[in-house]
A = this chain, B = another copy of it.
């Protein structure tokens, strides 16, 4: 596996010619990888830029690098997908965050809705763990952007964010008819292309209990209800299936 190392933007020199790796990344490079000055290193700033570097100094606490090239990372999809996931039970949200990161989501936002079984508890603390899972999945999948994992929203607050997207796909088991996921994605791609920018797509999926009819009705005013076929997908499967389909239809899975 090709390793790439995270350098937070504040550790990149203003002129972009040097950068410094610190913390776990420096420790791993020095103690495990036994990196030496003169060796090549691939770094990323977590915001989409990849830096090809040469190590100039290697200490346990800091690895100094000279930047040879800085360019947009090639592993980021052409579409910006935010995943709004109904807060599930157990460790399912961790699973969703890990997989959604691998599959290219740029933002993951849990939300509470009427049929959620879990209630908010130590969410700031959990959020730090979720962010760590996303970070590790970025490293493992060799992405260049670290998805933002946000604190959970209420259903109403989640709905208020949806008008800002080119397409908001509300995955609803009871949905029949209406436009398909493919049609929504194609329309979003065209709309964004006309404005020379990346399409922004939201995927909304429910927790184990799904959505209440009145929630689905409220959502329909600010999003497009879509079905994901006649097979009933579990709450941890549906968001990843919808995300994969969006990536497939936008040629980001080839």
Residues of chain A having any CB pair with chain B under 8 Å: 1, 74-75, 77, 99, 102-104, 140-143, 180-182, 226-234, 237, 240-241, 244-245, 247-249, 251-254
Contact = CB atoms under 8 A, between A and B. Distances in A.
Contacts of A104: 229, 231
Q: What copy number does this chain have within its complex?
A: 2
B232 A253 contact: no
A-B pairs, 7 with minimum CB distance: A245-B248, A180-B254, A244-B244, A75-B230, A141-B231, A141-B232, A229-B253
Contacts of A143: 231
A248 B244 contact: yes
A252 B233 CA distance: 13
A193 B218 CA distance: 41
B234 A102 contact: yes
A181 B252 CA distance: 11
A253 B75 CA distance: 26
Nearest to A73: B230
A254 B228 CA distance: 5
B245 A229 contact: no
18 contacts: A1-B232, A75-B230, A77-B231, A99-B237, A102-B231, A103-B231, A141-B232, A141-B234, A142-B230, A142-B231, A182-B248, A226-B254, A228-B254, A229-B254, A240-B240, A241-B244, A244-B244, A248-B249
